[in-house]
Structure 1
Amino acid sequence: MIYNKNNLGDNVNKICENEDCTVFEMHNDTGDGKMILYDVFPGISLMYNDFYMEKTESKFETPENIFCIDHCREGRIQWNIKDDLFMYLKQGDLRIDDRDNHKKTFEFPIKHYHGITICFYLDKAEYSIKKALDGFPINIGSLKNKFLNKTDYFVLRSEKSIEHIFSELYSVPNDIKKQYFQIKILELLLYLSVIDISKNNEKPPYFYRSQVEKVKSIEKFITEDIEKHYTLDFLAKRFDISLTSMKNCFKAIYGNSIYSYIRVYRINQAAIMLRHTKKSIAFIAGDVGYESPSKFSVAFKDIMGKTPLEYRKSFL
């Protein structure tokens, strides 16, 4: 098993294990995480990752020659690529690396992350695949060199072919899981083997720590008092960051423009009040920064799919 209690670290607990899978959990003061691990072939594993937390410390390290593929289904993960530089894996993205620099803190800016990790222990994986499918044309060591020969990691931004392969892995009947995983991993390897990396060699944007810290301060500032409205120029000047850097960095971290983010945030706070208080809809509208109850109602329905009154009645 590539991932186990010994190399995952003392902040990860093994909850249960059977012949099909092993379940690991982690807890800290920011939330909880769960990892469900399947050994698909000897030397090849597939792991579902579900984190509802702000950050976690990875203590994973291994001397083995490995090759890992991470797919983000939903959420955001902040990756410290080196020193004070950060990048973000977003929905649909695929990242390839060798886990040489994986012992670090990872953050989840929108407090959740869901995805799949497929890991190849090269010394065993090659033999396993040849045994499973005689004549399979892909050499995993060569594939690793293709993507990581001159870089620590490689990122493929969301595209239909990748989404097709991974989307089917999130809803597999239990009685065919292992066989289905085997087929999909072979399909993924074939797909990666024909990708022209010269056409996919554009590095995703990265941001300096100073930019990230300022943008996170902006997010905290605008969500602390949601009755107030701020212009982008005001925020850029207050936090001493260029307008362009602020907009680009905010969208990379949180997945939305500042205006879209705070709009959704306000409506989600309103939904909580509709469920748990008896405040009038007009009062709640004002609490979340809407002077007009009718505009609030339109915005609420646009995001939640129901009017505030319909939403409240559904919880009665």
Structure 2
Amino acid sequence: MTVYKLFSGVRLIYNDIFTVGGEASQAVTGDVLEVSFCCGGRSEYRRSRHCYYLAEGGYIIRRCSAGDEGAAYPTGQYSGVTLLVDMDTEFEGFSELFDGAEEVPRLLSERLGQELYISALRDSAEHIFRELWECREKASAGLMRIKVIELLMALGELDMGTSQAKEHRLTDEQAELAERVCRFAIDNMNEHYTIAQLAKMTRVSQTKLKSCFRMVYGCSLYAYMRRQKMYTAAELLRTTDRNILDIAVDCGYDNGSKFAKAFRDVMGRSPRDYRKYKGVRMEHFAVRKAEQPV
């Protein structure tokens, strides 16, 4: 995480997160306006017994109070840009760029109220977010300040009634259903469970299970577990001398050729070559112990 303090009470944060367990970021400590853009991975925000999800290319605007939960990362992977504006400050320095700039954050906050705004559409704000992300390692503080003001002004023109928050949310119970199934599948990755079996175990319809899982993790259970199995196999290849076929069995494959193909598809090289070169990079997804999801 890289933090730039651009104005009094205004921080621009670049996140590149790989975490095990989907840990949440720190809780909010004051009256803050947060604007976050997702460049990759997935983030989760909880409010009023609902969970809201942000995927690549989307952004969220929310007003936070002391004690509100920070974002969580259900896949363990996230990169993005966050703007935090402390609403208790006077925004010194804004007016140096142009007259009236210091009023922009307050006007945006007033229009938002206590609602969440989520957009997954390409618009002028999304373009500015991407410019901020692409210049993160070479931009001057002066350019970042200009881009932040430009971003806040673009967001101030939004029609808050166009928020897609309802299309990107689950109830707490629905999110917990997906998380329980995910933990169970990971703890039993040497076995193969169909959606029908898991739905029966959790006493929900297959359609509900599939839609809840996709909302939380951004893909099907099959795709998620295939990737998770290959990450687990890669870690074993790097850190142990175990036979490759034994590792394949532990990851639910009794056919060495199918395991090798799946591993190459996910990791970019064969298991043997990966072990030989000790891998290039391990990217972790959420791995948490669980009981049977009933």
Question: Does TM-score exceed 0.5, indicating one fold?
Answer: yes
- Report the structure, 1 or 2, having the larger strand content: 1
TM-superposed CA distance for 1:312, in Å, is 2.0
Do the aligned partners of residues 58 and 280 (structure 1) sit closer, same or farther apart at CA in structure 2, a change above 3 Å counting?
closer
1: CA distance, partners of 2:83 / 2:226: 36
* Offset of residue 96 of structure 1: 0.9
Query: Match for 1:169 among 125, 128, 132?
Result: 132
Q: What count of residue pairs does the alignment treat as equivalent?
A: 276
1:95 aligns with 2:60: yes
Alignment partner of 1:70 out of 36, 59, 62: 36
Counterpart check, 1:117 vs 2:82? yes
Find the counterpart in structure 2 of residue 211 from structure 1: 174
**Counterparts of 1:309 and 1:118, CA distance in 2:** 44
CA deviations 1:28-80 (Å, max 9, x no partner) are xxxxxxx5432212343212345535334744333x5x532122333333322
Partner SS, residue 168 of structure 2: coil
CA distance in 2 between counterparts of 1:120 and 1:311 reads: 45
- The gaps in structure 2 that reach 5 residues or longer are 280-294
**Which residue of the partner structure matches residue 61 of structure 1?**
29
Q: Deviations over 1:142-169 (max 9, x none)?
A: 33333x14x4221112536544322333
Q: Bigger relative contact order, structure 1 or 2, given CA contacts below 8 A and separation 6+? A: 2
Aligned partner of residue 90 in structure 2, secondary structure: helix
- Alpha-carbon shift at residue 207 of structure 1 (Å): 1.9
Select the residue among 67, 70, 81 that pairs with 2:47: 81
Structure 1 gaps of 5+ residues are 1-34
Deviation at residue 201 of structure 1 after TM alignment: 4.8
> 1:121 & 1:225 partners in 2: Cα distance?
45
Equivalences for residues 136-215 of structure 1 within 5 A: 139-146=104-111, 148-149=112-113, 151-157=114-120, 159=122, 161-172=124-135, 176-201=139-164, 203-215=166-178
Q: Helix, strand or coil: the match of 2:93?
A: helix
- 1:241 partnered with 2:204: yes
Normalising by structure 1, we get a TM-score of 0.75
What's the CA shift string for 1:171-219, capped at 9, x where partnerless? 5476743112112212312432443444445523322222222222211
Q: What residue is the counterpart of 1:48 in the other structure?
A: 14
**How many Å separate the matches in 2 of 1:257 and 1:236?**
14
Is 2:237 aligned against 1:274? yes
Amino acid at match of 1:239: T
Percent identity reads 29
- Distance in 2 (alpha carbons) for counterparts of 1:46 and 1:105: 16
Provide TM-score, normalisation by structure 2.
0.80
Change (3 A) 1:296 1:257: same
